Chains A and B, each alone.
Chain A
Amino acid sequence: MTTTAEGTTNTTGASTPQPWRNFSEGDWTAAVDVRDFIQRNYHPYEGDASFLAGPTAKSLAIWDTLEKDFLSVERAKRVYDVDTHTPADVDAFPAGYISADDDVIVGLQTDTPLKRAMMPYGGWRMVETAIKEAGLEPDPKVKEIFTKYRKTHNEGVFDIYTPRIRAARSSHIITGLPDSYGRGRIIGDYRRVALYGVDFLMSEKLKDKDSVVDQPFSENWARFREEHSEQVKALKKLKNLGEQYGFDLGRPAANAKEAVQWTYFGYLAAVKSQDGAAMSIGRLSAFLDAYVERDFAEGTLTESEAQELIDALVIKLRITRFLRTIDYDQIFSGDPYWATWSDAGFGDDGRTQVTKTSFRLLQTLRNLGPAPEPNITIFWDDKLPQGYKDFCAAISIETSAIQYESDTQIRQHWGDDAAIACCVSPMRVGKQMQFFGARVNAAKSLLYAINGGRDEMTGKQIVTGFDAIASDEPLTYDEVWAKYDAMLDWVVGTYVEALNIIHYSHDKYAYESIEMALHDSEIVRTMGCGIAGLSIVTDSLSAIKHAKVTPIRDETGLVIDYVTEGEFPVYGNDDDRADVIAQLVVKTVMDKIRALPLYRDAVPTQSVLTITSNVVYGKATGSFPSGHRKGEPFAPGANPENGMDTHGMVASMLSVGKLDYNDALDGISLTNTITPSGLGRTKDEQVANLVGILDAGMGEGLFHANINVLNRETLEDAIEHPENYPNLTVRVSGYAVNFVKLTREQQLDILTRTFHQSA
């Protein structure tokens, strides 16, 4: 035991109880292996939610202070405050607190809640723009450093970019690339901080670094050594961070409160030093629950105190902020940072990973009210304990704040200690990271194919070497498909070239040293490519195949619109004739990615996901044979085209479920919106039906389901901001309507009728 983390501790922490007392030993005691620890020590829970505790007075007081003094101010100003003098880092700011009674789980990104920090390594321009948009001026000294002396990721990328990438970017066929902001999609295994303490993690990293000293020089070898040095430096800063708040993170956590605190410090170090597009927190519940149960057995913790710990952690996750530009908000609206917390699912041995702490996490949505962060993600399976399934459904109905992913599909590919980064990207925690690739506009690519590389919005020749469709006769499927296939070679080739460059540069100029310090030394990297506009391509190809589609040209011969006559099958209705086209598009793009060399031998993957960027993609894209109009928002992710999934929510789930996960290992996203009354007459009925729908969808191959169960406030918001709710469907006794299509009068009518039943 002397070489273990705990052994080290025994010689230094005389007054601290043995951190690993009463835990079952195993592989994890000799080397970093959090999964092994969990499997040997967690407590599956098969019961219901009746054991849960409400919020403590302290939790409510802290949340009230936040609301009154900070969150309400931020809502009015967009940005509460920015520190314009201190480039962010793990230990760059002194300790900060929400209030004097903020002492359960402590730690803020800067010295004040909601005050945002500069993270200039991604690129200076974004930082400066964001500061100015917040009504402030950057410190000239900092600006000088990052424009004169210190090269950034953004500069690195543009030093390498090729002419075709620049053309594709400016014509918006490829957009949202992480070439001027942090890529994110890396989940540090923050649990390691609690289980092993920083000293042991550091000694392991130093060992790994020196394990290659006998090998000859190569660039990979040098990078391995350099990155390990960066990681060790970051771990030292993490220890400093703990000291700023009065904790010795060198040793392992010795009880539940420390386990939550240590884990949070690991995560806090990440969000203090990186503003990745998604900063997910991993899979914590079963891990933390092992500590809670041990404290319970020792009589040192009550249920109320355990809940207070989780509430306190969640409060901190709700006030994490990054300095973003208004432009960035257009793509990722609502200030999200995707602190995705994955939960539930099964272990390889068939035991559920649902614990009481899985319930406590959901309970935060009742104790503190609904909120988008952390992004609670349930690994669903129809065999999960009934009490948990019912509680998930109940909380979904109350808050719309939960998303669901297929545990079977994730576990089969990525094991039973995987977590989601961002929305749908699964990865083994601490053993895998993703090179985030935003997405390519697969719909616009179809228009490029028809126009031989001329942009349908500007008429500019973006791609050369391709013939446009010359005839004015109705389009034929075979000709259009052949041209689309060829155009995708160019689009995907250009796209992957950009991603290779971006991640090469990101590793070089904005390396995530603390997050990578909480990974194994040898990891799997995936290249997370993505496509947008799947439903539009599918429906358009279906129209060309099954109806008569005649192109309309402007005076220069550019096809700018289509006359579509006749009927055609539409994606999203469990109609194989359309759904096979969607499958074909996904597979075709994936095969093209597979054929290309990838930076750092990454595993090729793609997602069918748009997050909220479906609106900007729509703005940059012309009209389609499907009837999709120029400038209209795309349907999100793998969703059917807005309003075209006319056979009900379950039918749309079945269509999306037909997409082969093997061709989209980075995830396939479906967002559905449903009213409480669309789920049943009583709360019990609604819960049972939502559980049934999820069981049915996942059972039929669905990978992901974003379930919005709308409350009254949401519908009111939809009336004020219809652009945010393009596919909101309201069912009224055997009849479905698109909510935003209704007149205000009708909307108010539905508002009344939908809610009086459940009042």
Chain B
Amino acid sequence: MNSTTITPTVTVPDAAAPALGDKDFAAPTGRASGVGTGGLEVSALDRGSRLEQMRAGTLGSIHSWELVTAVDGPGTRMTVFFAGCPLRCLYCHNPDTLKMKNGESVTSEELLHRIKRYKAVFNATGGGLTISGGEVLMQPAFAATILAGAKELGIHTTIDTSGFLGSACTDAMLENIDLVLLDVKSGNPETYKKVTGRELQPTLDFGRRLADKDVEIWIRFVLVPGLTDDPANIETIADYAASLSSVTRVEVLAFHQMGRDKWASLGMKYELEDTLPPTAEEVERVRDQFRARGLTVY
């Protein structure tokens, strides 16, 4: 089925009133269940033709989309969340995007139609398209089609990636990418493995390749107390970021517990139940480590 996911909040009269917590006001429900693919026509296909079209790059597995400002690149952007990710980050705040099979099937034609609709919005705001996830490079053929289509429309393109699957990004695809938000989750390979379950090296290689091709990069780093906050770890990332000539900005994102409920609702084990967000001072300390290398840091 094909639309914004709304779990019917109601059903039985005289059901127990929702828990009000420490407020005397029952807040609206809805947003927390995910933003959904509403507005996009979803294709119903058998498994065989689904896979065939995905390989051809004309069909993708989409978790959701939204129009956002100032968080996923410059201006107002249509951020499309692809479903499926090779990493299993302990702090993932979108665990509902981890599995490709949980996404909705959307054709490239349908998605590009929607992207085109927002061209005036992108023009007005200096925005564009951002493909996020999940991991955009889990569906390289589909990503390539969408990026090429967006460029053809004259739209600014961004991908938000861990870089782990950087080798799946062809040079031809890079031609169609204006900005990469490169999530460097750790500078220390052991920590990286602990956080994501995977190797660090592919990310470092991908960033290097982007710099060589002069593709603009924003480095992103999530500061998780007790996990990624070792000053030596951050020094390594900062050195790496400073070594990439096309990095124009570093964003230090403070870990938060906003994804906690999603893990529970998915029946998945969440390791960071008791982890506290970093203090403002800690975040500033980390930013200063990047700033010390002359980087623009937020």
A interface residues with partner B (beta carbon < 8 Å):
382, 546, 552, 554, 560-570, 573-578, 623, 627, 629, 632, 641-644, 646-651, 654, 674, 677-682, 685-686, 688-689, 692-693, 695-696, 699-700, 722-723, 726-727, 729, 731-738, 740-741, 743-744, 746, 749, 752-753, 756-757, 759
Contacts and interface: CB of A to CB of B under 8 A. Distances in A.
Contact of B93 (A554, A735, A757): A735
Contacts of B12: 552, 561, 563
B38 A573 contact: yes
A752 B280 contact: yes
Contacts of B280: 752-753, 756, 759
Closest 10 CB pairs of A and B: A692-B125, A643-B28, A756-B280, A648-B67, A642-B28, A695-B124, A741-B27, A650-B67, A575-B39, A643-B30
Contacts of A753: 254, 256, 277, 280
A740 B68 CA distance: 21
Contacts of A700: 120-121
B6 A567 contact: yes
Contact of B76 (A561, A693, A759): A693
A738 B6 contact: no
Nearest to B117: A574
A692 B126 contact: yes
B214 to A, nearest CB: 23
B167 interface: no
Given A561-B12, A641-B30, A741-B29, 9 more contacts: A561-B11, A574-B67, A575-B38, A642-B28, A648-B68, A693-B76, A695-B124, A722-B25, A723-B25
Nearest to A553: B13
B69 A649 contact: yes
A746 B160 CA distance: 26
A260 to B, nearest CB: 36
A688 B11 contact: no
A687 to B, nearest CB: 11
A481 B280 CA distance: 54
A576 B114 CA distance: 12
Given A681-B298, A744-B22, A757-B298, A560 B31 contact: no
A647 B39 contact: yes
B27 A561 contact: no
19 contacts: A561-B12, A568-B6, A629-B26, A642-B28, A654-B121, A677-B70, A679-B69, A692-B76, A692-B124, A692-B126, A693-B69, A695-B124, A722-B25, A734-B68, A734-B79, A734-B93, A741-B29, A746-B258, A756-B284
B3 A568 contact: yes
B54 to A, nearest CB: 23
Contacts of B24: 722-723
B125 A693 contact: yes
A692 B38 contact: no
B41 to A, nearest CB: 10
A574 B10 contact: no
A626 to B, nearest CB: 8
Given A641-B28, A692-B125, A727-B28, A649 B67 contact: yes
A694 B25 CA distance: 32
Interface residues of B, number: 65
Contact of B4 (A569, A733, A759): A569
A678 B70 contact: yes
B2 interface: yes
B82 interface: no
B142 interface: no
Contacts of B23: 722, 740
B70 A689 contact: yes
A641 B94 CA distance: 24
Contact of B32 (A562, A648, A682, A737): A737
Given A570-B4, A648-B68, A726 B121 contact: no
Contact of A650 (B72, B121, B298): B121
Interface in B30-60: 30-32, 34-36, 38-39
Contacts of A567: 1-6
Most buried by B among A564, A648, A674: A648
A743 B10 CA distance: 22
B64 to A, nearest CB: 8
B283 interface: yes
B270 to A, nearest CB: 15
Contacts of A632: 26, 28
Contact of A647 (B26, B67, B132): B67
Query: For the complex, would chain A's binding face be called helix, strand, loop or mixed by DSSP majority?
Result: mixed
Contacts of B38: 569-570, 573, 575, 578, 646-647
B253 interface: yes
B35 A647 contact: yes
Given A643-B29, A699-B120, A741-B32, A733 B66 contact: no
B10 A689 contact: no
A749 B3 contact: no
B71 interface: yes
A560 B22 CA distance: 28
A740 B36 contact: no
Nearest to B68: A648
B256 A732 contact: yes
A511 B121 CA distance: 47
A648 B8 contact: no
A629 B12 CA distance: 11
Contact of A627 (B10, B32, B132, B258): B10
A568 B4 CA distance: 7
Residue of B4, B94, B283, B298 ringed by the most chain A CB atoms within 10 A: B4
B71 A734 contact: yes
A736 B23 CA distance: 20
A740 B3 contact: no
B21 interface: yes
A756 B31 contact: no
B75 interface: yes
Contacts of B257: 746, 749
B76 to A, nearest CB: 5
A692 B31 contact: no
A564 B121 CA distance: 35
Nearest to B297: A681
B70 A685 contact: yes
Nearest to B283: A756
Given A678-B70, A726-B28, A382 B124 contact: yes
B3 A692 contact: no
A726 to B, nearest CB: 6
A665 to B, nearest CB: 25
B98 to A, nearest CB: 15
Nearest to B75: A692
Given A573-B39, A646-B35, A752-B280, A734 B13 contact: no
B290 to A, nearest CB: 14
Nearest to B93: A735
Contacts of A678: 69-71
A681 B73 CA distance: 11
B8 A646 contact: no
B9 interface: yes
B125 A575 contact: no
Contacts of A679: 69-70
